[in-house]
Amino acid sequence: MDLSNLNAPEPNKKKAKRIGRGQGSGRGGHTVGKGHNGQKARSGYKEKFWFEGGQMPLQRKVPKWGFNNYFRKEYIAVNTGTIQLFIEHDKLGETITLDDLRNAGLAGKNDLIKLLGDGEIEASIDIEVHNVSESAKQKVEDAGGSITLVKNSQ
């Protein structure tokens, strides 16, 4: 037995309303439940979901401004302070690759990573990133580390 074999119980078997079968039917002769005249009363009428009854449509009312640059590169920001925290908790080592940052949960699979200089870093690290800020570069080099910039493969 499956759902296609199920039958509704007797009280649930109701007949469909037959409208438009004359005045004597008790169900809509004349206007057949569609009111009087108008576009919606005609056969074949199908309203578009964006139609607003002839008033100014929302997409024309809302102001349009700005510019969307399709070639913009979105970077995930990773701070030097965050790197130091992860090193202290043994989630990252002294040599950090892009895969290490992704496995630690700091970035997604296809994300571009930029190292920023918020926070202090004491560990001497060798790190791979796609981009770096001047302050982060200075802090990592002062701590005795190095930064390798990886070319974007996207």
Q: What is the pTM of this model?
A: 0.59
Q: Residue 132: give the domain boundaries.
A: 75-149
Residues 34 and 79 in one domain: no
Cβ of 51: how many Cβ atoms within 10 Å?
A: 10
Q: Tell me, what CATH number does 108's domain have?
A: 3.100.10.10
Q: Is residue 54 part of a domain?
A: no
pLDDT, one tens digit per residue, over 25-75 is 887 778 888 888 888 888 898 988 888 888 999 989 999 999 999 999 999
Q: Is residue 51 part of a domain?
A: no
* Host H or E run for residue 115: strand 112-116
Q: Is residue 88 part of a domain?
A: yes
Residue entry with tokens 């199920």 = 6
Residues 35 and 79 in one domain: no
